[in-house]
Amino acid sequence: MSEQRSIPQHVAIIMDGNGRWAKQHGKERYEGHIAGVESVRRVLRAAATTGVRYLTLYAFSTENWGRPVAEVEAIMELFCKSVVGEAPELVKQGIRVQIIGERDRFSERVLEMIDKIESTTLKGDRLTLVLAFNYSARREIMLAMRSIAQRVACGELNVEDINEQVLSEHLMTRDIPDPDLIIRTSGECRLSNFLLWQASYAEFYFPETLWPDFDEQEFSKALEAYAKRERRYGLVIEDSKA
């Protein structure tokens, strides 16, 4: 396998275990999220250095609104602070930030920060950091179907022309390639409404490590595990090497 193919183009991460980490350290849950931002920094740096082109992080699911108000506010605050604090460094490193998710429930301030980070980093061409923020894969697919149905209803699209590519083009990830590797930290082995359509042929990696303890070495172990996988896409081995 060539060096090029053994490095995933797109890594997506479910950053899990902040709450358990906080409990283990006798801290409040929000402190686990603060420590989680440090891991984001480390992994982003490691991904950019290794040649990964897209890094998607599940920062806040639509279901997360059901958490205690103080915790939700702490995560929103962390997002805003990170945007203000990190923007110059992201620009310097050539990192573009794209946010996927629904924007309807965010405060004015969060919306402002989303616009700010997306516009200031727009020209970054080294790595795209995709933040899934108020994201739900089922809602993403439902919204895509709704907009396809609208296009059919107004005669813009024929039913016979609906195919997988058309559906992909109506998702929030329309400009982003499917993930090659999905990591979920903390030993949990499920997708939790994350990139359900896009994950069809992704490789999965489930380390026991809690997200705040996930570092460059852990990231590199994940890439090593990925490099050993044989991706067949439903073909037989000889065909996949063709």
Cβ-based neighbours of 49, under 8 Å, separated by 6 or more? none
Largest CA distance in the chain: 60
CA–chain centroid gap for 47, Å, is 13
Catalytic residue among 16, 18, 134, 193: 16
**Contact residues: ligand FPP, CB under 6 A:** 15-20, 33, 36-37, 40, 57, 59, 64, 75, 78-79, 82, 131
Closest CA to 169 of 196, 193, 191, 141: 141
Nearer CB in complex with ligand FPP: 5/109: 109
Shortest reach from residue 37's CB to ligand FPP, in Å = 5
CA distance 128 to 176: 9
CA distance 93 to 16: 26
Nearer CB in complex with ligand FPP: 59/172: 59
Residue of closest CB approach to ligand FPP: 19
Nearer CB in complex with ligand FPP: 68/94: 68
CA distance 143 to 141: 5
Shortest reach from residue 83's CB to ligand FPP, in Å = 8
β partners of residue 239: none
Q: Where are the beta strands (DSSP E) in 8-82?
A: 10-14, 54-61
Nearer CB in complex with ligand FPP: 131/183: 131
Cα 23 to Cα 30, 31, 56, 208: the distances in Å are: 11, 10, 26, 16
Residue 16 falls in the annotated catalytic set: yes
Nearer CB in complex with ligand FPP: 64/168: 64
Check residue 175 and report its DSSP letter. Answer: T
Confirm if 118 and 100 have CB atoms less than 8 A apart.
no
Based on C-alpha coordinates, what's the Rg of the chain? 19
Closest CA to 56 of 8, 106, 113: 8
Shortest reach from residue 217's CB to ligand FPP, in Å = 19
Residue 193 falls in the annotated catalytic set: no
Catalytic residue among 18, 64, 115, 158: 64
Active-site residue list: 16, 64
